[in-house]
Amino acid sequence: MDLATIIGIILSFGLVISSIVFNGSILIFISVPSLLIVVGGTIGATLVNYPLRSVLGVMGVIKHTFMSKVESPSQIIEQFMEYANRARREGILSLEPIIKDIEDLYLKKGLQLTVDGLEPQAIQEILEKEITYLEGRHETGAEILSTFGAYAPAMGMIGTVIGLILMLQTMDDPSTIGPSMAVALITTFYGAVFANLVFLPMAGKLKQRSKDEVVIKEMVMEGILAISKGENPRIIEEKLTSFLPPKDRRKET
């Protein structure tokens, strides 16, 4: 679980709700018509903008903002040092028995291509294409959430216009002015909250997640290519260590 995402959502919504409770009743800010306008309008507009499959798949994308499964770079270095030393001692074919136990499909595919005897250039082209498609999928997910964030305030403004029209048409009946004005203002409130506390922050988190995952993939590709070329384990370690921030690199003694 990503604590930053959970803490951020709890903190932002908690402070907003607290400010409401301290100055009145939370029930005042509950409006089903306003919610329908914002949520329904945002989803509908997004469906016009993107294919149905992409919009339905956004739930799986949102999951990545709460779940962090990116492997530690230090663990990757340890893995590749084990692979490199084994390949140097027993040959590249000695890696074949351990491939079936690898859970990372990207790493598994790269090692299998290496064991199969493909040239390093061919392996690099295949793995780079995998990274390109990964970036494309992540970019689409982040774009959809950003689109939600753009449409939600617009739907709020539409709700405001609807509320004002209803209010102006019933100015002769003072009892209807309050509910109509409530729909007008609360809809804008809902749109701003959903956009700035949910959709846009999640889009930003997905973009950062994508960058982190791409760096890990590039690190794995570098290790696989080094093994396929038969490079010295010490050189492989130096290459992979260069992906780490300076403060995380092991100090030589």
CB 226 within 8 A of CB 239: yes
3-state secondary structure of 71: coil
237: Cβ–Cβ under 8 A, 6 or more apart, which residues? 77, 80, 81, 84
CA dihedral 220, 223, 225, 230 (to 10 degrees): -160
Tokens of 90: 């027993």
- CA dist 169 and 179 (Å) reads 13
Closest to 149 measured CA to CA, from 219, 189, 77, 202: 202
Percent of the chain with pLDDT over 70: 93
How far does CA 74 lie from the centroid of its chain? Answer: 22
pLDDT for position 252: 42
CB 156 within 8 A of CB 192: yes
Phi, psi of 249 (to 5 degrees): -75, 145
- CA dist 227 and 96 (Å) reads 13
For all residues of the chain together, what is the average pLDDT?
Answer: 86
- CA dist 167 and 183 (Å) reads 10
CB 95 within 8 A of CB 73: no
Tens-place pLDDT, residues 199-213: 999 999 888 888 888
- CA dist 157 and 56 (Å) reads 25
3-state secondary structure of 213: helix
pLDDT for position 151: 95
pLDDT for position 65: 75
pLDDT for position 176: 66
Angstrom distances, CA of residue 104 to CA of 76, 121, 201: 11, 22, 28
Count Cβ atoms below 10 Å from residue 193 Cβ, excluding itself: 18
Which stretches in the chain have pLDDT values below 50?
Answer: 251-253
Count Cβ atoms below 10 Å from residue 3 Cβ, excluding itself: 9
Q: H or E element: which one contains 135?
A: helix 120-169
CB 115 within 8 A of CB 99: yes
